[in-house]
Structure 1
């Protein structure tokens, strides 16, 4: 039995560094034995099916293959369709009322406790807000991520120590749910 997954690559094709053409990524993933491989945008979103069911092992395999083939390290998270759909459904913000650029999801490599973010004075960042979910952090940034002071604070290395974290805007979150649902 095959399962449909999304591979979320962190920090590729941004600012002129760590270039990874999506056609090359698709070929690499197909070479690893994955099927129905497709990419979305140029920023590291790939959908695929496989009979292997360990998300962490799939992510490690892809990380290693990218490093071997392209010569640089890329953090990768792999999540199945059911998880991606659950993240969309659990959004604590009124996603249907917001523009995609105002709402972001940071996918995390493991669950985190709220205490990790206890130092943040939430009131100081209003109207921006964040909430934790199942291995995700939801961020409402009404002026977009590029202008978000809260996003800047949340990205500090000490808050993300020991984590792989990669963010997607709400439009991409929704599209990945659709693509992984269609591929299955």
Structure 2
């Protein structure tokens, strides 16, 4: 058995309806996936399954989600080792300790285009940083400005399928898959 992390792009079903984590957990278990756990109410799953292709897991989860909740949602899956590598590759470790909610990573289904960071720099405020690490887009958001243009700029159309999580969530998911103490 292998441990996996799955991230849902959006758990809003429309008109103020959100996916309840217990329903998401039940859906995941109905696929025969084991030891299913959720983290916060934003569509984060950790589960165990026989070793298989990531793309197969993504398709199975997306199909089950659509059948269960009535709409398609992109789901990005990473194996535990790849998740731990992503967490260890955080290019903003000092800032993450100080303000983990200001550091985020857009976890990509396929590597972001090579010019993604440069394209996003054009939308960044002076005190914001963007780095491409192993195909994922890491962002250090401004502490001075409550709204950043970077979120809108890092959309599916420009960057490809992905979903963002802040450092606090990345770290907690890493702990759930078995590597205690990352970034602490």
Q: Equivalent residue for 2:21? A: 22
Shift of 1:83: 0.9
Shift of 1:12: 0.8
Q: Equivalent residue for 1:61? A: 60
Q: Is the 8 A contact 2:105 2:137 kept in 1?
A: yes
Q: What is the CA RMSD across the aligned residues, in angstroms?
A: 2.4
Q: 1:73 to 1:146 in 2, by over 3 A?
A: farther
Task: For residue 175 of structure 1, give the secondary structure of its aligned residue in structure 2.
Answer: helix
Q: Equivalent residue for 1:142? A: 142
The alignment's TM-score, normalised by the length of structure 2, stands at 0.86
The number of residue pairs the alignment matches comes to 178
Q: 1:120 to 1:55 in 2, by over 3 A?
A: closer
Q: 1:171 to 1:142 in 2, by over 3 A?
A: same
Shift of 1:54: 1.1
Q: Is the 8 A contact 1:106 1:168 kept in 2?
A: yes
Q: Is the 8 A contact 2:80 2:177 kept in 1?
A: yes
Query: Aligned partners of 1:144 and 1:38: how far apart in 2?
Result: 35
Query: Aligned partners of 2:90 and 2:132: how far apart in 1?
Result: 10
Q: Is the 8 A contact 2:124 2:150 kept in 1?
A: no
Unaligned runs of 5+ in 2: 180-184
Shift of 1:133: 1.2
Q: Equivalent residue for 1:85? A: 84
Q: Equivalent residue for 1:94? A: 93
Unaligned runs of 5+ in 1: none
Q: Equivalent residue for 1:104? A: 104
Whichever structure has more helix as a proportion of its residues is: 1
Task: For residue 177 of structure 2, give the secondary structure of its aligned residue in structure 1.
Answer: helix
Task: For residue 33 of structure 1, give the secondary structure of its aligned residue in structure 2.
Answer: coil
Shift of 1:16: 5.0
Query: Aligned partners of 1:105 and 1:9: how far apart in 2?
Result: 14
Q: Is the 8 A contact 1:102 1:145 kept in 2?
A: no
Shift of 1:74: 0.7
Shift of 1:14: 8.0
Answer yes or no: is 1:114 the counterpart of 2:114: yes
Structure 1 window deviating more from structure 2 (95-104 vs 85-94): it is 95-104
Q: Equivalent residue for 2:173? A: 176
